[in-house]
Chain A
Amino acid sequence: MRLTFTLFALLAVAVVYADKASEPPSQLAELLSADAEGYAKAIEPREFVFPDDHGPHPDFRNEWWYVTGNLDDKDGRRFGFELTIFRFALAPTKPESESLWRTNQVYIAHLAVTDADEERFFVAQRYARGALGLAGAQARPFRVWADDWFIAEEPGGAWRLVADDGDFAVDVTLRAQKPPVLNGADGLSQKSSQPGNASYYYSITRLQTEGRIRVYGREHEVSGMSWLDREWSTSALADDQVGWDWFALQLADGSDLMFYGLRLTDGTQDPHSGGTFIGADGAATHLDQEDVEVTVLDTWDSPEGGTYPSRWAVTVPRFGLDVTVTPVIANQELFTTVRYWEGAVDVEGSRHGERISGRGYVELTGYAQ
C-alpha cells in the first residue's frame, strides 16, 4: 500500500542529481499522473498465480517488493529491518536497441535497520536501471535485486535476503508460515473512486526469519518474523489525498492485521482506506474503512521538521481487537532524498478481553516535505 511512494521514489532519483535544485521537479509528478497511456492498469480482479506473481509485471508502471521484520539476537537485543525494492517503468515499452543497457525499467532499493537498544536507525539506498543484470526481477527462480542487494529463492524454497551497506547489513533467510493473502477485492485494491486507480496487492504476513544483522562492525545472530508486501499498479494518489498510515501487525495469537488509512487534504480519512485480517489458520477477511478505528495518542517532532504521529490506539471490533501500537524508538525516519517514516513497533492490548501482545511495522507518508 505505497502507491504514491513510487512517485517519491522516482523523485528521489531525480533529486539526487539536481544537487543545486532546491525543489523537486513538479513536472515529474505531472509526467507520471498525466501520461499513464500505454501502461496496463488494475481494473478487474485477476487470478494470482504463484510463484509467477512474485516476479515482475513490467507492463504496469509501479511495483514493489517490501519486506519488514522484527528480530532479536541471542542476548535479546532487538532489531528491526526494512528492505524495499521498487520497480517503475519510464515508458510503456522497452526501446529497441542492440545495447543491453537500453531499458524503460528502473529499480530503487531502500534498506533500513533499527537498533532498538542503541536507539540507532540506519538507512541506505540503491538505484539502478533494470538492464544488463544491474537490477531486475524474475519469477523462476524468484529473484529481485538492485546492485548486490537481493531477495532470492534458495534451493528448497526458502528466500534469502541480503543487503550490505558497509556500515550495516542484513543477511537473513525467510520461510513463509502462511500462504499469500490477497488484499482488497481478491487482490484488487481500489485506491480511489476512479477506475484503474487501483493496484494488485498481496502479502505474506508471516515469514519465519533467521540470519545475521551487522551494526557497528559486529555480527548478530538474529531470528524473528518478517512480512512481505507486494503491489503493482499504474495509479497515483488522487488530488485530494495527501498520504497514508499503514499498519502491519503480527499478534502473539498467530493472527495478523494489515490496515491502511488514506488521509485527505481536509484531514479526514478516505473511504477507500481498508485492510485485511488474517487468522492464525491463514484465513483472510477484508476490512473496510469503518471496520478499523485508529486514534493517534502521541506525536513525534522530526529534528528535520515535520510532526509524525507516534503512538496509536487501534481497534477492530469485528475481531475483538483493542491494542496500543508504540514505536520501539521514535526516530525511524528515512532520510533518503524523500522523507518518510517506516519503523518497528510494539503492540500491547487485548483481544476478546484477553491480554495480547505483538510486533509490527508502521509506515507514515506525507507528514514532512
Chain B
Amino acid sequence: MIPVTYRASFSYLLRHPWQLVLSLLGIVIGVAVIVAVDLANSSARKAFLLSMDAITGEATHQVVGGPNGVSEDVYRSLRTEAGLTRIAPVIDGAATSDGLSLQLLGIDLFAEQSVRSFTGDAQDISSLFVSFLVEPGAVTASEQTAQELGLEIGDRFELFSSGRQHTATLVATFAADDSLDRVLVADVATAQEWLDLVGWLSRIDVRIEDGDTATLERFERALGPGTQLLSASGRTRSTAEMSQAFMTNLTAMSLLALLVGLFLIFNSVNFSVLQRRGLIGVLRALGLTRRQLLTMVLVEAAAVGLVAAIAGVLFGAVLGEQLLELVSRTINDLYFRVNVTEVSVSAFSVAKGIVAGVGAALLAAAVPAIEATSYEPRLALTRSVLERRTRHVLPIVTATGIAGMVAAIALILVSGTSLVAGLSAVFLLILGFALCVPLFVRAVSTLIAPLAGKLGGTSARMAVAGIASGLSRTGIAIVALAVALSATIGISVMVDSFRGSVNAWLQQTLQADIYTGTIREGSMEPELIAAIRAIDGVVDMSTRKRATVEDASGRTQLRVFELPPQSYDGAELIDAEPAPAWQAWESEDAVFVSEPYAYQHAVGAGDVITLPTDRGPRQFDVAATFQSYDINAKGIMMSRATYARHFDDDTIDSLGIYLAAGVDVDAVIREVERLSKDTQSLYINSNAGLRKESMRIFDRTFVITDVLYWLTLGVAFIGILSAMLALQLERARETATLRALGMTPGQVGGMITAQTGVIGLLSGIAAIPLGIVMAYVLIKVINRRAFGWQIDMTVAPDILAVSVIFAIGAAMLAGLYPAWRAGRSQPAIAMREE
C-alpha cells in the first residue's frame, strides 16, 4: 500500500515538473543564502582565530602596555631581574609590499622556543639565525606568502611601513598552513626600525602553566603600573567579539531569505495537495488512514526539501566564496585584520543548511498535510468548499498574526539590550504581519473589484475578484512578496537613514580644510609637522593621536585631540552644556565618551570611568557624551593635555589644517605633498575629499546587505511565479469556459496579467507599513543594540514608490508565462479534463 502511494506522489511530482522546480528553487535559494552567510562568517572567524593561534603559539598570557605598547625595559627586567624566562617579545604592525597588505611580526629567536616556532620548518635554520640577527632587513615568511609576493629566498624587495620605504631580504621560508598567510617575520630590531617603534614592544607573550599561581604572582609583583598581564585567549576572544554584532546581523538577513523561501514551499506543497484532492479522496476510500496520508505528504515534502537542501548547500558554497570577500573586506575595514581567501566548508554549516532546508519544507508542508487529512473519503473537494474553509480560518489566522506582532513588541520591551532577542522580535513581527496579509487582501480586493469592473470591464472585475476568491493561494503569494518587499523597504530606509546621519555627522565633525596623517599606522615626523604649520595660509591646526589602551575588560580606543576652540562645534555633545564640558575636557581629568561607548557601558555626563594609563588605572570624569558613528564602538575623546599627564607619548598621527579665508586648498595640499615626499608618505585630503572617502567606505560596508536583499527578492519573485502558475493551471477549466464563451486568448492573457499586477500592487501596499515598522525596529532596536548608534529615521518616499513599482513589475513578469499558457489552451480539451 505504502509504495503505491509514494509512487503516486512521485509520479505526480514528475508530471508537474514546473511546480517541482519552483518549490525546489525556493528552498535552494533560501538554503544557499543561509549556508553562504554561515560559511563566509565562519571562514572569516576561523581564519582570524587560526592566525591568532599561530601567532600566539603556546602563549597563555600577554603583557600589554599603554598606547605605544610595552617598554622594552619591562622585558629586560622581567628576564634579568625577575627571572621570568618563559616570555617572548612581539612587535606587531602593518606593512605593504607591492600593494599587498602584510602583517609584520618582530620576534626574538632566542625567546621564541618557549612560546612558538615560526621557523620550525625552515630549511637552513643556522644561517637563518645568523642573518636574522645581524642582517638588517632580513625577513622570513611562509612559502605561500613568498609565492604570493613572487619572491625566492635571497630576493630583496621593497616594503612600506609607517609611511617610509624599507628594503627587505627574504632569508628563509617556512612551511605553514594559511594561518600565517601574508605575515612577515623579522627580528625585533628590524621590526622596531621599520615600524617606528624603537624602544617599544607591542606586547610580551607569556607562557604560564595552568594553575601556576606562583608565577602569576611573580608577574604581578614584577610588572609596573603601566603594564598588565592578560589572558591571551581572552584578548583573542574580545577581538573576535568586536565583529560579532555584524555577523549576527548577517545571519539574521540570511534567515530572512529562508523565511521568504518558507512561504514559497508552503505555497507549492499546499497547491500540490489541493490539486490532488481527487486522488486523496480515492486513496482515503481505498483505506489509506489519515496518519498514512499525513506521512505521505510530509515524506514528499521532506524528500523535496532534502534534494533542494543538498542543491542549496552546493550553491551556497559557491555563493559563500563571493560573500566571503565582501564579509572579510568589511571586517578589515571596520574591525580587525583578517586575511582569508578560501571558504572552509564545515560539516556543521552543511548540516545547518540541510536541517534548515528539510525543516523548512516540513514546516511549510505541515499545514497543507493536516488539511489533506481532513478530507472525507470519496468526496472530491470542490474549490468552493476549499475557499469556504479558507474563509473560515481567516479570522483565526489574522488573530494569531496580531498576537504575534504584540508578542514582538513585548519582546523588544523586555529584552533589554539583547541583539538576538531584538532580531527574534523582528522575525516575530514579520510572521505576525504576514498572517494578517490574507485578510487585508480579501478586504481590499473585494472592495476594489467593482471599481476595477467600472474601469476595465468584466475581465478586470473578474481578475480582481479572482484574487479574493482564490485566496488560499494568492494570499500566500502576496505574503511572500510582501515580506520580501517589506524587508527591502525596512533595510533600505535603515541604510538610507544611517547614511544621512553619517553624512550630517561628517559635515559637522570635519571642520578643518585639509586632513593629513600617516597611513594606517605610525606617527608623523615632528619636523614635518612643524614644516606644515609654517606653510603660508595655515592659520591653525588640530592634532590627533589614535591610541589604544587595554585592561582585562578589553580594549578602549582613545582619540587624543589638540583642538583650536573654533573646532569645538565639530563634536555634538548630547548630554551636557558645551561650554563647561569643553572647559573640563581641556583642563581637568575629564573625557568625552562616544555614544556607542556610553550605550555599551551605561555611562554618561557626570559619571566616572576608569582607564588604564602609563601610571596605572586612573579615574576620569565623563564631561559629556558625543555623537559618533565611529565603528570602533569604544571611542573616548581625550585632550592632549590630559593625555600628556597620564601617558608618556607625544606622537601625533594626523593633523587637521585650518586655512585663512581665500587660501587655495589645492595649493596647500600640493605644498604638503611636496614637503612630505622625501620624508614620509602621508594621506592628504581636503575636507570634501575625506567626506567622500568616508561615504565610499560606508557604502562599501553595505554592499553585502544589498546582495542579500536581491537574493531575498529573487526568492519572492519565484514565489509569485509559482503561485500564478499554480493558480492558472488549476483554473484551466474556468479559463477554458471563458474561452468557450468567446474570450480571445489575448483577453484571457490580459486578465491574468492584470490579476498578477494587482497582486503585485497589493503586495507592495501591504509591504509599506511592515517595511516602515521594520526600519524603525532595525534603527532603534537592532542597530542600537548591535553598535550603539543613534540614527535619525528618515523615510524617503522614492524607496516606497520603487518597492511598489518593483512589486507590480515582478508580479506581472511572473504572470506572463501563465497568461501565455492559459491563452494557448484548447477550451474543448481543458473542459473535458474534469
Q: Any chain A CB within 8 A of the CB of B109?
A: yes
Instruction: Tell me which residues across on chain B come within 8 A of A31, comparing CB atoms.
Output: 126-127, 130
Nearest B residue (CB) for A169: B83
B198 A19 Cβ-Cβ under 8 A:
no
B130 A90 Cβ-Cβ under 8 A:
yes
Interface residues of B in 111-146 (CB under 8 A from A): 111-113, 117, 119-122, 124-127, 129-130, 133-136
A148 B134 Cβ-Cβ under 8 A:
no
Instruction: Tell me which residues across on chain A come within 8 A of B792, comparing CB atoms.
Output: none
Q: Any chain A CB within 8 A of the CB of B82?
A: yes
Instruction: Tell me which residues across on chain B come within 8 A of A134, comparing CB atoms.
Output: 76, 79-80, 110
Say whether, besides A16-B113, A101-B72, A101-B188, A21 and B125 are in contact (CB < 8 Å): yes
Q: Any chain B CB within 8 A of the CB of A77?
A: no
Nearest chain B CB to A115's CB is how many angstroms away? 22
Which of A90, A102, A127 has most chain B Cβ within 10 Å? A102
Say whether, besides A99-B189, A132-B76, A13 and B124 are in contact (CB < 8 Å): no
Instruction: Tell me which residues across on chain A come within 8 A of B80, comparing CB atoms.
Output: 133-134, 145, 147-148
Q: Any chain A CB within 8 A of the CB of B154?
A: no
Q: Scoring A residues 126 to 146 as 1 if CB is less than 8 Å from chain B, else 0, what string do you get?
A: 111101111000000000010
Q: Scoring A residues 71 to 112 as 1 if CB is less than 8 Å from chain B, else 0, what string do you get?
A: 000000000000000000011000111111111101000000
Q: Any chain A CB within 8 A of the CB of B496?
A: no
Which of A19, A31, A134 has most chain B Cβ within 10 Å? A134
Other-chain contact of A18, B111, B125, B187 (Cβ < 8 Å): B125
Other-chain contact of B136, A14, A19, A97 (Cβ < 8 Å): A97
Nearest chain B CB to A105's CB is how many angstroms away? 9
Nearest chain B CB to A368's CB is how many angstroms away? 21
A148 B79 Cβ-Cβ under 8 A:
yes
**Size class of B's contact patch?**
35 or more
A148 B120 Cβ-Cβ under 8 A:
no
Nearest A residue (CB) for B119: A17
Instruction: Tell me which residues across on chain A come within 8 A of B193, comparing CB atoms.
Output: 97-99
Interface residues of A in 140-185 (CB under 8 A from B): 145, 147-148, 164
Q: Any chain A CB within 8 A of the CB of B192?
A: yes
Q: In the complex, A31→B126 CA distance in Å?
A: 9
A102 B120 Cβ-Cβ under 8 A:
no
Q: In the complex, A271→B2 CA distance in Å?
A: 101
Nearest A residue (CB) for B109: A17
Nearest chain A CB to B575's CB is how many angstroms away? 46
Nearest chain B CB to A131's CB is how many angstroms away? 8
For A, the interface residue count at a CB cutoff of 8 angstroms equals: 40
Other-chain contact of B121, A20, A27, A102 (Cβ < 8 Å): A20
Q: In the complex, A96→B136 CA distance in Å?
A: 9
Q: In the complex, A330→B75 CA distance in Å?
A: 40
Q: Any chain A CB within 8 A of the CB of B580?
A: no
Q: In the complex, A339→B78 CA distance in Å?
A: 30
Nearest chain B CB to A35's CB is how many angstroms away? 10
B126 A14 Cβ-Cβ under 8 A:
yes
Q: In the complex, A11→B108 CA distance in Å?
A: 17
Nearest chain A CB to B689's CB is how many angstroms away? 35
Nearest chain B CB to A350's CB is how many angstroms away? 46
Interface residues of A in 22-77 (CB under 8 A from B): 25, 27-28, 31
Which of B83, B120, B136 has most chain A Cβ within 10 Å? B83
Q: Any chain A CB within 8 A of the CB of B81?
A: yes
Instruction: Tell me which residues across on chain B come within 8 A of A106, comparing CB atoms.
Output: 110, 133
Which of A18, A104, A127, A129 has most chain B Cβ within 10 Å? A18
Other-chain contact of B120, A20, A104, A129 (Cβ < 8 Å): A20
Q: In the complex, A25→B134 CA distance in Å?
A: 19
Other-chain contact of B125, A14, A102, A126 (Cβ < 8 Å): A14
Instruction: Tell me which residues across on chain A come within 8 A of B187, comparing CB atoms.
Output: 101-102
Q: Any chain A CB within 8 A of the CB of B199?
A: yes
Q: Any chain A CB within 8 A of the CB of B85?
A: yes
Instruction: Tell me which residues across on chain A come within 8 A of B192, comparing CB atoms.
Output: 98-99, 101
Other-chain contact of B133, A11, A15, A90, A133 (Cβ < 8 Å): A90
Q: In the complex, A174→B82 CA distance in Å?
A: 23
A101 B189 Cβ-Cβ under 8 A:
yes
Nearest B residue (CB) for A166: B83
B188 A19 Cβ-Cβ under 8 A:
no
B76 A25 Cβ-Cβ under 8 A:
no
Other-chain contact of B198, A99, A127, A147 (Cβ < 8 Å): A99
Q: In the complex, A150→B111 CA distance in Å?
A: 18
Q: In the complex, A7→B126 CA distance in Å?
A: 12
State the main secondary structure of chain B at its contact with A. helix
B119 A147 Cβ-Cβ under 8 A:
no
Q: In the complex, A169→B134 CA distance in Å?
A: 33
Q: In the complex, A206→B643 CA distance in Å?
A: 58
B125 A164 Cβ-Cβ under 8 A:
no
Nearest chain A CB to B187's CB is how many angstroms away? 7
B189 A19 Cβ-Cβ under 8 A:
no
A17 B76 Cβ-Cβ under 8 A:
no
Nearest B residue (CB) for A124: B85
Instruction: Tell me which residues across on chain B come within 8 A of A19, comparing CB atoms.
Output: 117, 120
A28 B79 Cβ-Cβ under 8 A:
no
B117 A17 Cβ-Cβ under 8 A:
yes
Other-chain contact of A28, B126, B190, B198, B199 (Cβ < 8 Å): B126
Say whether, besides A90-B133, A132-B76, A147 and B85 are in contact (CB < 8 Å): yes
Other-chain contact of A95, B76, B121, B125, B135 (Cβ < 8 Å): B135
Other-chain contact of B189, A14, A102, A147 (Cβ < 8 Å): A102
Q: In the complex, A233→B188 CA distance in Å?
A: 29
Nearest chain A CB to B563's CB is how many angstroms away? 32
Q: Scoring B residues 86 to 127 as 1 if CB is less than 8 Å from chain A, else 0, what string do you get?
A: 000000000000000000000011111100010111101111
Q: In the complex, A14→B128 CA distance in Å?
A: 9
Q: In the complex, A31→B198 CA distance in Å?
A: 31
Other-chain contact of A164, B83, B111, B117 (Cβ < 8 Å): B83
Q: In the complex, A127→B135 CA distance in Å?
A: 20
Nearest A residue (CB) for B125: A18
Q: In the complex, A98→B188 CA distance in Å?
A: 12
Instruction: Tell me which residues across on chain B come within 8 A of A25, comparing CB atoms.
Output: 124-127
Say whether, besides A90-B133, A95-B136, A100-B199, A129 and B110 are in contact (CB < 8 Å): yes
Nearest A residue (CB) for B214: A166
Q: In the complex, A90→B125 CA distance in Å?
A: 14
Q: In the complex, A97→B190 CA distance in Å?
A: 9
Nearest chain A CB to B193's CB is how many angstroms away? 6
Instruction: Tell me which residues across on chain A come within 8 A of B127, comparing CB atoms.
Output: 25, 27-28, 31
Q: In the complex, A99→B201 CA distance in Å?
A: 11
Nearest B residue (CB) for A106: B133
B85 A95 Cβ-Cβ under 8 A:
no
Other-chain contact of B79, A10, A17, A98, A128 (Cβ < 8 Å): A128
Q: In the complex, A147→B126 CA distance in Å?
A: 22
Say whether, besides A100-B72, A102-B136, A129 and B82 are in contact (CB < 8 Å): no
Q: In the complex, A25→B128 CA distance in Å?
A: 11
Say whether, besides A18-B125, A28-B126, A148-B82, A132 and B72 are in contact (CB < 8 Å): yes
Which of B121, B129, B136, B187 has most chain A Cβ within 10 Å? B129
Q: In the complex, A145→B112 CA distance in Å?
A: 20
- Please list the residues of chain A having a beta carbon within 8 angstroms of any beta carbon in chain B: 10-11, 13-21, 25, 27-28, 31, 90-91, 95-104, 106, 126-129, 131-134, 145, 147-148, 164
Instruction: List the 9 shortest-distance A-B pairs measured between CB atoms, nearest first.
Output: A148-B83, A28-B126, A102-B189, A99-B189, A101-B189, A25-B126, A91-B134, A99-B192, A18-B125
**28 sample A-B contacts, Cβ–Cβ < 8 Å, listed by A number:** A11-B126, A14-B125, A14-B129, A17-B112, A17-B119, A17-B120, A19-B120, A25-B124, A25-B125, A25-B126, A25-B127, A27-B124, A28-B126, A28-B127, A31-B126, A31-B127, A95-B135, A97-B193, A99-B192, A101-B108, A103-B189, A104-B133, A106-B110, A128-B110, A133-B80, A134-B76, A148-B82, A148-B85
Q: Apart from A17-B129, A104-B133, A147-B83, what 11 extra A-B contacts exist at CB < 8 Å?
A: A14-B126, A17-B122, A18-B122, A27-B126, A31-B126, A98-B192, A99-B188, A101-B192, A104-B134, A133-B76, A134-B110
